[in-house]
Amino acid sequence: MLKIYLYGIFKKKFKPDASLAEDTVINLPNEKNEQFQNLLKRLGLSIKECGDCFINGKLAYQDTIIPKNARIGLFPFGMHLLDGGQYIKGHGYITTNPFDEL
């Protein structure tokens, strides 16, 4: 079973009732010799929607084969929290809420 940790706008896309303060995880069955790009297709995501993503703590590439029982971190492209959470911290550098787009 794959444990897929969702971050940023992916939380609300896959689990609309998700809390921003808690881990949001979905579980999917493994598919033998599945590449990362195929997992994204299975989830209905394009590679352009994704930023840096990780498989068992290592950077995922499109052709990375996903091992059995992997932990996967999916981060959206341009995720605001990677800049230190400026919007949430109220510094004023980011003035829009990324969840308003959903």
Q: Delineate the domains of the chain, giving CATH numbers in brackets.
A: 2-101 (3.10.20.30)
Q: Is the overall model pTM greater than 0.85, yes or no?
A: no
Per-residue pLDDT band for 97 (boundaries 50, 70, 90) equals: low
Contact 25, 3 (CB under 8 A): yes
Nearest Cα residue to 74 out of 18, 4, 21, 12: 4
Q: Which residues, at least 6 apart from 69, have a Cβ–Cβ distance to it below 8 Å? A: 1, 2, 3, 30
Q: Which residues, at least 6 apart from 10, have a Cβ–Cβ distance to it below 8 Å? A: 24, 74, 75, 76
Segment 23-36, tens digit of pLDDT: 889 999 999 999 99
Tell me the average pLDDT of the chain.
Answer: 82
